[in-house]
A and B are shown apart, each in its own frame.
Chain A
């Protein structure tokens, strides 16, 4: 049972379409697991539609604009049959559909970067240069090194479970850590843990995961 949800701020910005795309990916992925939040987004989308229809309308749009549209419709390439493989429904997938194009239905498109024996990550290219969007894979019993957040971080749990000092998280949970908070997620002892994470990062491409990795390696060397 999902216990941690995006707050009204995230759901409203998502329904309005103003949420940065990497965070929107996290919200949409959470929605896959959470009927309650789907219902809320449905209502918030109605609010959007109502505000949209209550706008002061622009002056009636003129004929040429409609004619142009009809020409485009008449001359557009014929619609082919839907692309084979466009839907992965027939295939058993372990991931929500929000991640299929980015990662493959079963992670087959993912290029992992291994850091130590129990942690690896893969960057996802969502075209959001202000944030790092990644998949994190923590082997059973492994952990992400203790870290302090330079920006806000959203994590959505996709598989397994993990805990930090705040408690235990299960699949579908949407976890927000804000700037300055420290935490150290630890995967359960008996299962691997897979997460989607979006981290606010300075535009300067300092890769926080590389930093994390270096710290982890140093720690291992020291041990």
Chain B
């Protein structure tokens, strides 16, 4: 199972990722977003679309037990890229790289679509009608301009390179847990249940991984 999982991670083909991380590439994607914002530039939008949409689709397909994975993936792609277009003007390259920005949009849209789906299922089996959305805007909880004040692009780029290098060195069992948490939409508790491990073991695997990635650990 681990091999299958690791195959979904593209560790070996460095070409694209390293390219994504070089300043030139980052500047290129920043320029694309800015052209979309300022000139509604279709060609620049197409470039963003071609580069990022395969990632968005993969991200959608990783959600377990979807009834219609292809429909879900297309919907997530549409909603995410539509938001890239409509929010391009509020993208601030001093605060986030384009890939981080698009990841947060895709993450939030995925949460949103899954919430809508869950509500739909509940409504169709439940005796009482409940179409309540919650009086809540997800963007008030999962900010898209997050950490703006303290985590600038420079710091991001530095930790991004660090993460990029160190991810390759993680033991498989730690990568597995990170992939489940980040890509498969599973909380620590759900990962523990799936792998039949105590919650404490999952927590410590994540913690060890964060340590190795030189990311913050508990004070």
Contacts and interface: CB of A to CB of B under 8 A. Distances in A.
B187 A61 contact: no
A19 B163 CA distance: 22
B136 A127 contact: yes
A115 interface: no
A53 B55 contact: yes
Interface residues of B, number: 83
Interface string A30-56: 000001101111111111111111111
Contacts of A50: 160, 163-164, 167
Interface string A61-89: 10001101110110010010000000000
Given A13-B181, A21-B136, A61-B54, A40 B8 contact: no
Contacts of A14: 142
A152 B145 CA distance: 30
Nearest to A60: B54
A46 B10 contact: no
Interface stretch (A96-104, A167-175, A186-194, A209-217): A96-104
B169 interface: no
B151 A42 contact: yes
B103 interface: yes
A69 B56 CA distance: 14
Interface string B64-108: 000000000110011001100110000000000101100110111
A122 to B, nearest CB: 12
Given A16-B181, A127-B132, A52 B140 contact: no
A128 interface: yes
B210 interface: yes
A155 to B, nearest CB: 17
A16 B62 CA distance: 13
A69 B78 contact: yes
Contact of B150 (A38, A55, A72, A102): A38
Contacts of B167: 50-51, 54
Contact of B46 (A25, A42, A66): A66
B133 interface: yes
Nearest to B133: A127
In the complex, the 9 A-B pairs of residues with the closest C-beta atoms, listed nearest first: A127-B134, A42-B151, A57-B54, A42-B147, A58-B57, A49-B103, A49-B100, A55-B58, A17-B107
Interface of B: 7-11, 17, 20, 42, 46, 49-50, 53-55, 57-59, 61-62, 73-74, 77-78, 81-82, 85-86, 97, 99-100, 103-104, 106-108, 110-111, 115, 119, 122, 132-138, 140-143, 146-147, 149-151, 155-156, 159-160, 163-164, 167, 178-179, 181-183, 185-188, 190, 203, 206-207, 210, 213, 215-219
Given A49-B100, A51-B183, A68-B78, 14 more contacts: A18-B186, A21-B111, A21-B115, A25-B136, A25-B141, A42-B155, A44-B215, A47-B215, A50-B164, A57-B55, A69-B81, A79-B86, A98-B141, A127-B132
